[in-house]
């Protein structure tokens, strides 16, 4: 084990690298926590209600690849974020 001899160093100079390291680790932890947002899936009926259309229109748009659907078992689900992104702005 090496020995380190400290000469003319203030307590603040000694602890500052420790605080910097802790701040860096907290920043990394915060970034990783923010990236793990859960995906919200909604049903065909919820999509229809959200867009004020009939469920058959949602089905037709899915078949035409306007909307992306996901299947688990017998259920068809949609990512809420993808539905929101599929709405495009019209410039007049």
Condensed to tens digits (0 to 9), the pLDDT of residues 43-80 reads 999 999 999 999 999 999 999 999 999 999 999 999 99
Decide if 79 contacts 68 (C-beta within 8 A): yes
Residue 92 lies in a domain: no
Domain count across the chain = 1
Q: Compute how many other C-beta atoms are within 10 angstroms of the C-beta atom of residue 16.
A: 11
Residue 25 lies in a domain: no
57: domain range?
41-86
Residue 31 lies in a domain: no
pTM over 0.75: no
Residue 45 lies in a domain: yes
Residue 76 lies in a domain: yes
Q: Judging by beta carbons within 10 Å of its beta carbon (0-12, 13-18, 19+), is residue 58 exposed, middle or buried?
A: buried
Residue 10 lies in a domain: no
Residue 68 lies in a domain: yes
């Amino acid at each position: 084990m090496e020995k380190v001899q400290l000469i003319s160093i203030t307590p603040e100079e000694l602890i500052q690298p420790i605080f910097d390291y802790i701040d860096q680790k907290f920043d990394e932890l915060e970034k990783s926590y923010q990236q793990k947002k859960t995906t919200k899936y909604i049903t065909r009926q919820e999509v229809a209600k959200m867009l004020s259309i009939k469920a058959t229109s949602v089905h037709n748009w899915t078949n035409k690849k306007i909307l992306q659907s996901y299947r688990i078992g017998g259920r068809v689900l949609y990512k809420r974020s993808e539905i929101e992104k599929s709405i495009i702005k019209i410039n007049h």
